[in-house]
Amino acid sequence: MTTHEPPPGPPVALGTWPTPVEPLPRLAAALGLGEADLVVKRDDLTGLGGGGNKVRKLEWTVGAALAEGADTLVTTGAPQSNHARLTAAAAARLGLRCTLVLPGAADSPPSGNLLLDGLLGARLVWSGARGRGELDAAASDVCTRLRERGARPALIPFGGSSALGARGYVRCGEELRRQVPDLDTVVVALGSGGTMAGLVAALGAERVLGVDTGALDDPVAAVRAFTPALAGGGATRAPLRVRRDQVGAGYGTLTGPVKAALTLAARTEGVVLDPTYTGRAMAGLIAAARDGSLRPGRRTVFLHTGGLPGLFGHKEAAAWAGTGVFPDRP
């Protein structure tokens, strides 16, 4: 099995950089902040395959796969994985094959990210796996079988997160330093950890607030595992700022604060979030504004990491919409 840790090949160009930064004055006012206190970094607009944070990581991990001569990208994720969808898009862009190894049994009809996975030409392997260990083992088996058939598979890590993939977010942190020189705090969804790790390496632990999405049992350990290998990350001894109060009943569940965050962002700014990642990050930002951890007069950046297809593949969100909770405004 091929793993992708430094030393890397050169990154491959997949996205559109830099992503824009836009003001959020109406949302800021609704949260009791000054109108200029809140901006959004639009990493949902990274270009490839519907966009999202995973494109920055894939530039590095797929760059390494190409340097090794891979002809097939293999990766794992939840059925509605944005990372899996964007790995399929990267493969299509580069003329590679792609196999996505997913847990459990086929979700039908395919919706959201799964619909796009098929459209992008990925082969889906429903592995029956019930946990991360089983899923990793299934992906390893798939790579072995591909190799036996003469293919050259490269295994891209779960969530795209490795010290190598996190380099994409060191670059995002550097972009942010130029775009928002007075940045006080950037708020980001914390899943497999690579996004936060890169930002911490670039900006310092004190300026990054991660909102746990419940994807991992110990997300802090995941972030800590990636930072030492990153430029600037070796010096990071400061405690990580992580909120774990938005997980609710678990990864992917639709919580009350997430519903409120989705609704507020959509209605104040026309910004659409997803229920699993960015909705949780925004719920964490709202909680932080309420408890005083984000203060008026300081500049907060909300990192929009994409994930919109997940909204259309989320059964609880569809049921919520069906309950008539979205009346016309008077």
Ligand X SMILES: Cc1ncc(COP(=O)(O)O)c(C=O)c1O
Active site residues: 81
What CA–CA distance (Å, rounded) separates 257 from 247?
Answer: 10
Sign, Cα dihedral of 29, 32, 33, 39: negative
- Using CB under 6 A, which of 46, 161, 227, 246 touches ligand X? 161
214 binds ligand X (CB under 6 A): no
Nearest distance from residue 139's CB to ligand X, in Å? 16
195 binds ligand X (CB under 6 A): yes
What CA–CA distance (Å, rounded) separates 84 from 189?
Answer: 17
Nearest distance from residue 167's CB to ligand X, in Å? 12
75 binds ligand X (CB under 6 A): no
Q: What is the DSSP letter of 49?
A: G
- Using CB under 6 A, which of 42, 83, 207, 241 touches ligand X? 83
Bridge partner residues of 109 (DSSP):
none
248-287: contacts with ligand X (CB under 6 A) = 277-278
Residue among 276, 256, 265 nearest 53 (CA): 276
Q: Residue 206 has which token pair?
A: 């004190």
227 binds ligand X (CB under 6 A): no
What CA–CA distance (Å, rounded) separates 211 from 305?
Answer: 12
309 binds ligand X (CB under 6 A): no
Q: Residue 12 has which token pair?
A: 């491959």
Q: What is the DSSP letter of 310?
A: H
By beta-carbon proximity to ligand X, the closer residue of 127 and 195 is 195
Q: Residue 149 has which token pair?
A: 């058939």
191 binds ligand X (CB under 6 A): yes
Radius of gyration in angstroms for the set of CA atoms belonging to the chain, rounded to a whole number: 19
- Using CB under 6 A, which of 46, 162, 192, 255 touches ligand X? 192
Nearest distance from residue 85's CB to ligand X, in Å? 9
- Using CB under 6 A, which of 38, 190, 273, 311 touches ligand X? 190
Q: At what angle do helices 278-290 and 256-269 cross, to 10 degrees?
A: 90
Nearest distance from residue 77's CB to ligand X, in Å? 7
50-69: contacts with ligand X (CB under 6 A) = 52-53
Which residues of this chain interact with ligand X, rule CB under 6 A? 52-53, 82-83, 159, 161, 189-196, 277-278, 305-307
